[in-house]
Homo-oligomer: A and B are copies of this chain.
Amino acid sequence: MDFRGDQTKKYFKIYNRYKVDVGKRLKTFTEVKYPVTVYAPIRYILSSGGKRIRAVLTILACEVVGGKAANAFNAATAIEILHNFTLVHDDVMDHAEMRRRKPTVHKKWDENVAILSGDEMIAQAYRILLKTRSSRLKNILDVYTDALVQVCEGQGFDKEFEKQSAVTLDDYFMMISKKTGRVIAASTEIGAIIGEGTPKQITALRKYGEHLGRAFQVMDDLLDIVGDTKEFGKEIGGDIKEGKKTYLLIKAIENTGEKNRQLLKSISSGNNISASQVRKIKRIYISSGAVSAAKEEIARSTLEAQRAIASLPSSSAKSMLLWLSNQLRERTS
């Protein structure tokens, strides 16, 4: 895929316009004032930036099948809130202290506030989703609810894997397809339903989302190692400290020698991993070829995402979806 410079500029402009539009909707909704300990944290997390990638995907998927962007805004906003809910609750469970360069909700307030404002976000997201005008609202709600079911299951597996040493690559892919893939795939699937796509188009866009989600999560694993704290917005090496079974860890265990393998297998929640051990583990990730394998995996999944929508008619929205999938590989945050 080759994009000329002026096209890229145009795409960034459209992306940002959608991002701002969704941001405005998020702002209106967060103007509720009381109870303060419920709505102030929601305002905080929803105004703390973020790429709004899931929201933009919902809108583009609607457009690519011939729908109007405006019809997808409520669903896009709902999906963005759903995603932010997962961040708030996951950060509690992962003891994360930083998110988007700011203290996490439970650090700024406390855990009770994070639990409750997260719950309220689920509720408000459904309220906004229910404003979607579509003859297929039930279908949209089914897809959305399935994404919520699966994202919780994915987080459950993720937390369980932290305490297990024998996690396979298959386990990992199953887990991330639930934890990350399903919400991204729901974004494109719901967008396509709102845009009144054909069943074939809807399936194509769901698959695009699934592959993109896989690329996205492996990239996320990679950024935990090679990223820059300032750009990434959260602690580097956090996955290692938390005992996360990432793509890098599983691949490195497969490919490294016996001595290093013992160190890698000791990565588990509850084991205190020192800063120097984190540095050593990073070196093993590179020397074992796990970092290269991750990059290949990202490239492969990106290509599969692009292939999934290859048969859709050409349009500006389609070009943007292709561009976006490439952008992901360049991301630093």
Binding site for B on A (CB under 8 A): 34-38, 89, 92-93, 111-112, 115-116, 118-120, 122-124, 126-127, 130, 137-138, 141-142, 145-146, 148-149, 152-153, 155-157, 159-160
Chain B residue at smallest Cβ distance from A120 = B152
- The one of B93, B116, B126, B160 that contacts A93, using a Cβ cutoff of 8 Å: B116
Contact of B126 with A37 in the complex, beta carbons under 8 Å? no
Chain B residues within an 8 Å CB radius of A159: 37, 112, 116
Chain B residues within an 8 Å CB radius of A141: 126, 130, 141
Cα A183 to Cα B48 in complex, Å, equals 32
Contact of B130 with A142 in the complex, beta carbons under 8 Å? yes
Cα A34 to Cα B150 in complex, Å, equals 11
Chain B residue at smallest Cβ distance from A146 = B127
Chain B residues within an 8 Å CB radius of A130: 138, 141-142, 145
Chain B residue at smallest Cβ distance from A119 = B152
Contact of B124 with A149 in the complex, beta carbons under 8 Å? yes
Decide: A111 near B112, CB < 8 A? Known: A123-B149, A142-B130, A156-B38.
Answer: no
- Total copies of the chain: 2
29 A-B residue pairs with CB within 8 Å: A34-B157, A35-B153, A35-B160, A37-B159, A38-B153, A92-B115, A111-B111, A112-B159, A115-B115, A116-B152, A116-B156, A118-B119, A119-B119, A119-B152, A120-B149, A120-B153, A120-B156, A122-B148, A123-B148, A123-B152, A124-B149, A126-B126, A126-B141, A127-B145, A127-B146, A127-B149, A130-B145, A137-B138, A141-B141
Contact of B120 with A122 in the complex, beta carbons under 8 Å? no
Chain B residues within an 8 Å CB radius of A112: 92-93, 159
Contact of A145 with B116 in the complex, beta carbons under 8 Å? no
Chain B residues within an 8 Å CB radius of A36: 160
Cα A130 to Cα B126 in complex, Å, equals 13
Cα A36 to Cα B142 in complex, Å, equals 24
Cα A112 to Cα B159 in complex, Å, equals 9
Cα A89 to Cα B115 in complex, Å, equals 8
Chain B residues within an 8 Å CB radius of A119: 89, 118-119, 122, 152
Chain B residue at smallest Cβ distance from A178 = B35
Chain B residues within an 8 Å CB radius of A122: 119, 122, 148
Contact of A157 with B111 in the complex, beta carbons under 8 Å? no
* Apart from the given pairs A38-B156, A112-B159, A122-B122, 12 other A-B contacts in the complex at a CB distance below 8 Å: A37-B156, A37-B159, A37-B160, A89-B115, A92-B112, A111-B111, A115-B115, A116-B152, A116-B156, A119-B122, A127-B149, A130-B141
Chain B residue at smallest Cβ distance from A152 = B120
Cα A120 to Cα B153 in complex, Å, equals 8
Chain B residues within an 8 Å CB radius of A146: 127
Which of the listed residues A118, A120, A157 has the most CB atoms from chain B within 10 Å of its own CB? A120
